[in-house]
Homo-oligomer: A and B are copies of this chain.
Amino acid sequence: MTRINLPLDKCWKLLNHGPVTVITSAHGGKTNVMAASWAMPLDYDPPKILLVLDAAAYSRELIDASGEFGLQIPKRRIAEQTVAVGQSSGRNGDKFSRFGLKTFPAQQIAAPMLEDCVAWMECKVIPDASQRYDLFIAEVVACYVDSDRFHDNQWDFGPDPLERSMHYISNGEFFSTGERFRVPTLD
């Protein structure tokens, strides 16, 4: 596996299919990690995304203070950790070590980025009145992919079910990203 940077105007392709995400953050020597299903693209170039985060989440404190977050699309091999970081608070102890999550340094933000993901986005918050809805608008300043899972401008999840992205239902249940198919287009 190699992490390969994508051109920023291709970044929308990573979230377009609606996978669950994991959000990392850092401020003042503290870091945190949580799950978020409510993330999607907002614009193509420069790429912007939308993220809804509960006002009570500890990650909110770090993101509000730093103006940055990491967004990553986890592989099914860390499905259990994805649920666990969504069910527990970083106020009660470091979740990276508690759940055995491996990280690597980001390129342009302070938040650590998670291993065992298919794609990553480094994001800077665009201050906006919509934050009253717990809604963040952010610009993606770097994005990269697991080159085994995304190459030639498209997803390639391969045969291993643990290498696929996921779509969250609730209560520890997901849908795997399923069969790929094509229909005739008007073009």
- Assembled-state Cα–Cα distance A29/B18 (Å): 34
Q: Does A149 contact B (CB under 8 A)?
A: no
Q: Return chain B residues, CB-CB under 8 Å to A134.
A: 42-43
User: What 1/0 flags go to A20-53 for Cβ under 8 Å of B?
Assistant: 1000000000000000011111110000101010
- Assembled-state Cα–Cα distance A155/B161 (Å): 21
- Assembled-state Cα–Cα distance A18/B177 (Å): 10
Q: How many residues of A contact B (CB 8 A)?
A: 55
Please determine whether B17 and A187 come into contact, CB atoms closer than 8 angstroms. no
Q: Does A104 contact B (CB under 8 A)?
A: no
- Assembled-state Cα–Cα distance A124/B14 (Å): 29
Report copies per complex.
Answer: 2
Please determine whether A179 and B167 come into contact, CB atoms closer than 8 angstroms. no
Known A-B contacts A52-B41, A169-B155, A185-B83; the reply to A178 vs B178 at CB < 8 A is yes
Q: Does A96 contact B (CB under 8 A)?
A: no
Known A-B contacts A42-B133, A48-B133, A133-B43; the reply to A17 vs B168 at CB < 8 A is yes
Chain B residue with Cβ nearest A78: B183
- Assembled-state Cα–Cα distance A175/B15 (Å): 13
User: What 1/0 flags go to A82-112 for Cβ under 8 Å of B?
Assistant: 0110011000000000000000000000000
CB < 8 Å neighbour of A175 from B20, B40, B80, B180: B180
Q: Does A127 contact B (CB under 8 A)?
A: no
Q: Does A164 contact B (CB under 8 A)?
A: yes
